[in-house]
Structure 1
Amino acid sequence: MESSRKGRTSPTITDVAELAGVSRAIASRALSHESRPVSADKRARVLEAAEKLGFKPNLLARSLTTKTVNLIAVIVNHIHDFSDLDLFDFLIGEIQSIGKQVIFVRVGSVQRAEEFLRNGVAYHVDAALVFSDFAAAADVRKMFRNAAVLMLNGMHDGTSPSVVPNEVIGITEAVADAAGKGVATAAMVTGRISSPVEQSRIATYKSEMKRHGIRLVAELRGDYSYASGRQMAQSSGWTDVDAVFCTSDAMAMGVMDVHREAFPHNKPARFRLYGFDNLSLTDFEAYPISSIGYDKKAYVGEILRFLTRTGEVAGDRVDVTVPTFFVSRATS
């Protein structure tokens, strides 16, 4: 084996296979995230041989063989909401667990998405995950010259598959909780009205409030952020209500901080407070906000199912919904 490597500056997969005493195909599978099984003993021998030789897989060569680059594009408006941090840390880890890496494309506005298209800004990726409501499915397919586009928000077009939470379930439970506690009037602090998801969310809240006889006194528009929640909370003429429904937990946190005196020992004294997203922060004493969430493990699991089957489902309309649920905490 030593003579076979003479003159080479770096070891190859063949060298690893020879040292481990396995075939080249077994060595390749042991060092990749292929689904075909490799026995634990052979995998251990291959990994030991690779470490001993200082072998590093040639990702470019592998991509030419497999026709994949192991890159996943994640299209976002921005990353500053607490809900982004809760989700994306988990999502990136799970994507990396299947041997792929993530590149983020921050769109920020409809005009920015159009600029990407005009300038031909694109990457060679295996698939694109669209969280931005500024990016239309058809535009993303053009941007990446790829039909493997999964819509997780934004502008669906009846072609690309989607995975979205079924928000009706959680909202129905939250409004029913408020009605059961005698809430007769409410205010809403909403997010960006241009978002189709937000439009549907607001419509569901209003429908459920009407069904339970809760009168909507005020509707204030934020942008899902903590800062906008604080700003809306400082507005006059809406706090004389029985409940405030916020369409993000971050905005609900802003409302709570402005009106801390209304929550002695975190209990509602003047109005009940409801959020949305079920952030990990709501499990802590500082912000025990009643909220609506969904099983992020199930949600990300559906995304991974798409990423491991892109060749089968790309271009086919497959809509998957993940149920939401209401979590009652101190503020309600």
Structure 2
Amino acid sequence: MDSSRKRRTSPTIADVAELAGVSRAIASRALSSESRPVSADKRARVLEAADKLGFKPNLLARSLTTKTVNLIAVIVNHIHDFSDLDLFDLLISDIQSIGKQVIFLRVGSVERIEEFLRNGVAYHVDAALVFSDFADAESVRKMFRSDDVLMLNGMHDGSSPSVVPDEATGIAGAVADAASKGVATAALVTGRVSSPVEQQRIANYKAEMAKRGIRLVAELRGDYSYQSGRHVALSPEWPTTDAVFCTSDAMAMGIMDVHRDAFPGNRPERFRLYGFDNLSLTDFEAYPISSIGYDKKTYVGEILRFLATPEQFGNGHAEVTVPTFFVARATS
């Protein structure tokens, strides 16, 4: 092979091994993301050779022998909420820490799932994490031709397990806080009610309000986003009430910005405001919103446990719950 042709082709593992002065097997072990036996000197030589040649491992070729590609699919409706950023930054970091990479698949509607199946679109991945409430477990298993599917949208079945926050405790704490401060009437600003998680969240709020003697005077629809919170707050249907509970912090932020005059010095004057997600932004003075959260490290830890040992999520362990808690801040 002449030098001009060699420059036009991608370097191979054989090229790396030759430059490093080691066997192909040693070069492969040195470049593996898994802990495999190779001396520090040889590993350093291989890494230096790979860097010099611009060598990139072929994950699909490696999968023929390892049966893995170290890719994890994350299926979402979209990524535009602040809660997405808080969670996914941590999730991607922790997945990468175990030598795997993430690919995102944005669904957006039930029709997209059907389209993917109809057109035979599939990805070669080690596992799929499903956040989208447009995706059911059976469809995802068909799409990826894999049983290693973890449902994070409350829609697990007998073959695909689930990890979800147990929201009842946190919601009970928020409503109890409002009742202790004399709240008699409240509005609830919700997200997409087609979501099973949202349906349960709304049911929990209503049950706790009834238990505490708080009358629900309005139920307003948003989509979890900051923009929808502003839209709701500016609508003619905006009620006069003692408290507003939102099923996302982002919507609560939009409401707070429209009604800043109701929070002089960030303290509630006309109504108390509660969010949901316990976003990192709520720890700062711009949006000190009382909220409901869960330990995201624990939540992501359960996801990582599934990726490492999916067999532990078998029969009898189909649903893993992570407890939630109420965090009181200035707006309540």
Query: How does the TM-score come out when normalised to structure 2?
Result: 0.88
Structure 1 CA distance for aligned equivalents of residues 197 and 147 of structure 2: 23
Q: Secondary structure of 2:68's partner?
A: coil
Structure 1 CA distance for aligned equivalents of residues 313 and 17 of structure 2: 35
- Give, in angstroms, the shift of residue 28 of structure 1: 5.1
1:192 aligns with 2:188: no
Contact kept? 2:147, 2:159, Cα under 8 Å: no
**What is the aligned partner in structure 1 of residue 108 from structure 2?**
108
Structure 2 CA distance for aligned equivalents of residues 270 and 125 of structure 1: 52
1:256 aligns with 2:252: no
**What is the aligned partner in structure 2 of residue 225 from structure 1?**
225
Q: Secondary structure of 2:207's partner?
A: helix
Contact kept? 2:243, 2:272, Cα under 8 Å: yes
User: Bigger shift: 10-19 or 214-223?
Assistant: 10-19
Structure 1 CA distance for aligned equivalents of residues 224 and 261 of structure 2: 23
Structure 2 CA distance for aligned equivalents of residues 302 and 16 of structure 1: 42
- Gap runs ≥5 in structure 2: 1-10
Identity %: 74
1:142 aligns with 2:142: yes
Structure 2 CA distance for aligned equivalents of residues 35 and 323 of structure 1: 34
Q: Secondary structure of 2:321's partner?
A: strand
Which AA in structure 2 matches 1:215?
A: R
Structure 2 CA distance for aligned equivalents of residues 80 and 252 of structure 1: 15
Contact kept? 1:17, 1:23, Cα under 8 Å: no
Contact kept? 1:191, 1:223, Cα under 8 Å: yes
Which AA in structure 2 matches 1:68?
A: T
Q: Secondary structure of 1:132's partner?
A: coil
- Give, in angstroms, the shift of residue 158 of structure 1: 3.0
**What is the aligned partner in structure 1 of residue 161 from structure 2?**
161
Contact kept? 2:30, 2:47, Cα under 8 Å: no
1:325 aligns with 2:325: yes
Deviations 1:94-119 (A, max 9, x none): 11111111111111011111111111
**What is the aligned partner in structure 1 of residue 183 from structure 2?**
183
User: Bigger shift: 112-121 or 53-62?
Assistant: 53-62
User: Bigger shift: 159-168 or 47-56?
Assistant: 47-56
**What is the aligned partner in structure 2 of residue 5 from structure 1?**
none
**What is the aligned partner in structure 1 of residue 65 from structure 2?**
65
**What is the aligned partner in structure 1 of residue 47 from structure 2?**
51
- Give, in angstroms, the shift of residue 272 of structure 1: 0.4
User: Bigger shift: 141-150 or 237-246?
Assistant: 237-246
Change (3 A) 1:45 1:177: farther
Q: Secondary structure of 1:54's partner?
A: helix
For 1:244-323, what aligned pairs fall within 5 Å after superposition?
244-310=244-310, 312-313=311-312, 316=315, 318-323=318-323
- Give, in angstroms, the shift of residue 283 of structure 1: 1.2
- Give, in angstroms, the shift of residue 139 of structure 1: 0.5
- Give, in angstroms, the shift of residue 16 of structure 1: 8.8
Q: Secondary structure of 1:160's partner?
A: coil
Q: Secondary structure of 1:142's partner?
A: helix
Structure 2 CA distance for aligned equivalents of residues 90 and 238 of structure 1: 36
User: Bigger shift: 250-259 or 89-98?
Assistant: 89-98
Contact kept? 2:189, 2:244, Cα under 8 Å: yes
RMSD across aligned C-alpha pairs, in angstroms? 2.3
User: Bigger shift: 49-58 or 246-255?
Assistant: 49-58
**What is the aligned partner in structure 2 of residue 6 from structure 1?**
none
1:234 aligns with 2:234: yes
For 1:71-86, what aligned pairs fall within 5 Å after superposition?
71-86=71-86
- Give, in angstroms, the shift of residue 315 of structure 1: 6.4
For 1:112-131, what aligned pairs fall within 5 Å after superposition?
112-131=112-131
Structure 2 CA distance for aligned equivalents of residues 109 and 46 of structure 1: 50
Contact kept? 1:135, 1:154, Cα under 8 Å: no
Change (3 A) 1:28 1:228: same
- Gap runs ≥5 in structure 1: 1-8
Deviations 1:152-191 (A, max 9, x none): 0153223211111111111111111111111111000000
Change (3 A) 1:43 1:167: farther
Contact kept? 2:218, 2:239, Cα under 8 Å: no
Structure 2 CA distance for aligned equivalents of residues 304 and 17 of structure 1: 35
Which AA in structure 2 matches 1:125?
A: V
Contact kept? 2:154, 2:164, Cα under 8 Å: no
- Give, in angstroms, the shift of residue 71 of structure 1: 1.0
